[in-house]
Amino acid sequence: MKRIFIPVITGLLLVGCQQEKPKNVIELNYPETEKVPVVDTYFETQVTDNYRWLEDDRSKKTEEWVKAENAVTFDYLDKITYRDQLKERLSELWNYEKLGVPFERGDYTYFYKNDGLQNHYVLYRKNKEGKDEVFLDPNSFSEDGTTSLSTASFSKDGKTLAYAISEGGSDWRKIIIMDVESKEIKEDTLVDVKFSGISWKENEGFYYSSYDKPKGSELSAKTDQHKLYYHKLGTSQKSDKIIFGDKPEEKHRYVGGSVTEDGKYLFIYPRTSTSGNKLLMQDLTKKDSPIITILDDTGSDTYVIENEGSKLFLVTNLDAPNKKIVTVDAANPGVKNWKDFISETENVLSPSTGSGYFFASYMVDAVSKVFQYDYEGKLIREIELPGVGSAGGFGGKKEAKELYFSFTNYKTPGTSYQLNPKDGTYKKYWKPNIAFNSDEYESKQVFYTSKDGTKVPMIITHKKGIELNGKNPTILYGYGGFNVSLTPSFSITNAVWMEQGGVYAVPNLRGGGEYGKKWHKAGTKMQKQNVFDDFIAAAEFLIKEKYTSSDFLAIRGGSNGGLLVGATMTQRPDLMKVALPAVGVLDMLRYHTFTAGAGWAYDYGTAEDNKEMFEYLKGYSPVHNVKSGVEYPATMVTTGDHDDRVVPAHSFKFAAELQEKQKGTNPVLIRIETNAGHGAGTPVAKIIEQSADIYGFTLFNMGFETLPYSPKTKVKG
């Protein structure tokens, strides 16, 4: 056993700043993690993997290791006396009614609602007389709340629903088909569906996607040939027709399909990675019509957003890194015939359609601006938003007379608005009744300079009037990859953090999509270090400006953001007090050998590409850069034992390396959520418990023996 010592809480102090170290300590024993060396050779370089055995998620040995690690972790967390206070406050703040925007299908108006602390949103419906009723309640799917609703799609006439469920957080889904009027299940459940939408062909059936069930572990075995299927109602899944992906020349890692609103066309989107797609089309009005290729390479992200008869509207970043909309006739859809409809601008475009209009939403330094266009491409107006933040929605059927959108930022809970698209006016549709006073907080955007001189935006949110004395507990959150944009949005968990006097800072790192394809590419493959440099520079900015100091700084991120945290803490362990890598991609030499991980190669490259790429990946791979004798920050790794997107072996191996090599008394824990996956569909109860654990761990290791601030008494200590 390796032993370190953690402080025992011995009494109460009166101020919410860093406390003197308590004299008493308690012994913390890590489980013994056996080393079973496996040696791989990459371009004549040998790399030893001592913990390869932890990749076997089906072994009894791995199961016992998980139990032992969780026992140590929760024993530690139980000694943080204010963890229950955090949980109580999270539950209290979370307990407010949440309402989704309504949508019409058939004879009913549907909407999602959560009464407060329900694990999952409930789908309600309202008839023409205005009477509400529960239509589908995911909270009844399982006793422990770990089975969730992931997708719900209605037939064109609204009389049949196909909905997908996830069990234990897995990406593998089941599709259930229901008669809307009687709520009775119509036929056998479709099984073994993964990374799929549900797109109806009129009322006859629907398209969905999946892989052949892998040999070995369904949670970690490689899946790389996605197929698009068509399921006709009233037939068995065994007879479902493969539309695309079965032939060797059609092999792609991801394949999606969608049908236009008028039911005329099927569009197929084959991908080899998470960025870039081919585009194919089939005319559904003609029997056995051939599949026609519009784009035969994956050099752009292109999709069809709308059609008027044979006139197609496509969103693309082909020769337009910030995206534009083009039109083309379906009879001759090749690139040479494309015509600009809404041209590219200096800001990134994310459009939607509804009520016979296009709504062009732009990110301007990660903040929303929205413009309305007609079908001739004429600018109608700018939609004046309620404030500075993120707006989403503006979508609906062509015949819809009203549209809805939401607005939020880091200090403002999401509020829904009802828009009249004819004159651009809107009114508040629903505002949450939440016990959080946004007026007591401020959020501002700053620009700081990264290592190579690049200007990077960051939004910093906190209580008004905080003293810039370097002692404010601060969470620096980042992602920086896969063209994902971090735009301002409200979070209950972040609100509780800020109530405790915490600062919450989010930089828009390279690798994201905030400034289009160029910004994304600047954080990929041989330029991935730019992302870590941007994150490090953000931390240095916060310290320089005295928002915080290294003793009060925590870094946090999940998935690709977990990689960000792992790389940053191994490169600059002196920079932060706490590190919180969640469901992270942490073994960069082997990530592509699990499930659909090879699809991430656009961002990362692989160790098999060439010697230079191998050496670059090995140079920052968190698992391979933990060094003996280094004092790493207090670390709590979090993952789920059913995560089949970023398999938990990444987190297992990283925690094992840290526990073996850590110098000093900073704890290294791994919190493994059982019967949980990558995050989607996680029950509210589990989110609250995990958040209380994370915040308790963070504050405790920053030296706080009591909560810095009590929201009830509004006094420190």
Q: pLDDT tens, 102-117?
A: 888 999 999 999 998 8
* pLDDT confidence bin for 91, thresholds 50/70/90: very high
The top-scoring range by mean pLDDT among 94-108, 229-243, 629-643, 677-691 is 229-243
More confident residue, 687 or 645: 687
Ramachandran region, residue 44 (left: φ > 0; alpha: ψ -120 to 50; beta: rest): left
* Residue 480: closest CA among 442, 536, 546, 409: 536
> Strand, coil or helix: what is 694?
helix
Q: In whole angstroms, how far apart are CA 294 and each of 246, 521, 580?
A: 20, 25, 44
pLDDT tens per residue, range 520-579: 999 999 999 999 999 999 999 999 999 999 999 999 999 999 999 999 999 999 999 999
Q: Determine the residue type at 449.
A: T
Backbone angles phi, psi at 696, to 5 degrees: -60, -45
Residue 13's pLDDT is 31
Pairing of strands 503-507, 474-477: parallel
Strand pairing category for 578-582 and 553-558: parallel
Helix (H) or strand (E) holding 71: helix 60-77
**With contact defined as beta carbons under 8 Å apart, do 379 and 360 qualify?**
no
* Continuous segment of H or E residues that includes residue 698: helix 684-701
pLDDT digit string (tens) for 123-162? 999 998 989 999 999 999 988 888 889 899 999 999 999 9
Alpha carbon dihedral 436, 437, 441, 442, in 10-degree steps, equals 110
Digit-coded pLDDT (tens) for 158-174: 999 999 998 877 788 99
Name which of 265, 245, 247, 269 is nearest 257 in CA terms: 269
Residue entry with tokens 């700081």: 448
> What amino acid positions are annotated as catalytic residues?
559, 678
Query: CB–CB of 603/275 below 8 Å?
Result: yes
| pLDDT, averaged across the chain | 90
Query: CA nearest 700: which of 22, 1, 3?
Result: 22
- The answer to whether the beta carbons of residues 91 and 492 sit under 8 Å apart is no
Which of 699, 704, 697 shows the shortest CA–CA distance to 72? 697
Task: Report the share of the chain in percent with pLDDT over 90.
Answer: 80
Name 522's bridge partners. none
Does position 122 have pLDDT exceeding 70, yes or no?
A: yes
Q: Per the structure block, which two tokens stand in for 512?
A: 């994201």
Residue 418 is inside which H or E element, if any?
strand 412-419
* Residue 395 pLDDT: 92
